[in-house]
Amino acid sequence: AFVTTAVSTLVADVVPPARRGEAMGFYSNFMDVAMGAGPFIGVLLLQSGGYRAVFIGAALTLLPALGTVGAIRERYQPPPAPVKRPLLSRPALLPGLVMITASIGYGCVVTFIPTLATARHITGTFLGVAQYAFFYIAYALTLIRTRGPWGRLSDRHGRQAAIIPGLLLMALGTLTLALTRTFPVLVLAGIVYAGGFGSAQPALMAWTVDRAGRQAWGAAMATFFVAFDGGIGIGSLTMGTVIQHFSYGLAFAVASLLTLIGFGVYVADRMRRPDAGAEGTTAVPR
């Protein structure tokens, strides 16, 4: 929690405002590629060495991260006297609301793909690896390919140019998972969902920073990640209950609907304040 908030704020601080969306895209790339490739690597470690190998491998990945901390040069200058700030950032509440509706679906996706594959009888292997693991690798590869272009698009044409198609693709990806019955469609859903998530999430992060003053970037990022992580937890818990009592199809359909609700919230704000759609083209914090 400390690291994601601090590093996201650091990214906002060290890059030019006109490239904020692109920078957030590349930064998010590293986070989400790890989250996408991690389960794939975890499956390989689990199959070869059991859970001990999985946890040892996870611990070892922290060593390079610790080694890079000293190379980071901060530009932020704290105020001379402590400043009392609210627990949550008000400018970040709207981006956080959009993000939490989308991340509920994200929590459903990252948690239940293995059990969804089992329930839908997608239980074969491909290249010696369980088929469902390729959902994660397709997801990760798509993120690598799409983060930068989507980020540059949001810098040049406003955040809405990435957020609107991104949320729609996320909704389509989760709906595809609700209907999937075959290995190719499962992989296709991973590509579609990653294309949407890779577009929407960093643009929402940049939009959050755009809306907050420089001295409030840390609180804004903290609020954003409260929404993001909270949505993942809510999605895992509530969608698990839906799966237990109803079906996988209904759970992923509900996740798709929630993402569309977030889309509606964002579009309603753009209609209410059409000039705000240019945020990102000038990227001047306010």
Structure confidence by residue, pLDDT tens digits, 35-88: 667 777 888 888 888 888 888 988 888 788 777 766 666 665 665 555 566 667
Look at residue 81 and tell me if it is in a domain. Answer: no
State which residues form the domain around 213: 2-75+87-278
105: nearest Cα among 30, 172, 21, 179: 172
Look at residue 286 and tell me if it is in a domain. Answer: no
Look at residue 284 and tell me if it is in a domain. Answer: no
- Going residue by residue through the chain, which has 286 residues, state the pLDDT in tens, using 9 for 90 and above: 556 666 666 666 666 667 766 777 777 777 766 766 777 788 888 888 888 888 898 888 878 877 776 666 666 566 555 556 666 778 889 999 999 999 999 999 888 999 999 999 888 888 877 888 889 889 888 888 887 787 788 888 888 889 999 999 999 999 999 999 999 999 999 999 999 998 898 889 888 888 877 677 778 888 888 898 899 999 999 999 999 999 999 999 999 999 999 999 999 988 887 665 455 554 443 3
Residues 6+ apart with CB under 8 A from 250: 178, 242
Look at residue 283 and tell me if it is in a domain. Answer: no
What does residue 282 show for φ and ψ, rounded to 5 degrees? Answer: -110, -30
CA distances 122 to 110, 204, 227, Å, are 17, 34, 32
Look at residue 232 and tell me if it is in a domain. Answer: yes
Count of the separate structural domains present in the chain: 1
Which CATH number goes with the domain that contains 152?
1.20.1250.20
283: nearest Cα among 160, 156, 161: 156
Look at residue 62 and tell me if it is in a domain. Answer: yes
- SS3 call for 77: coil
To the question of pTM greater than 0.85 for the whole model, the response is no
Look at residue 245 and tell me if it is in a domain. Answer: yes
* Residue 284 pLDDT: 40
Structure confidence by residue, pLDDT tens digits, 187-217: 999 999 999 998 898 889 888 888 877 677 7
Look at residue 285 and tell me if it is in a domain. Answer: no
How many other C-beta atoms lie within 10 A of the C-beta of residue 201?
Answer: 29
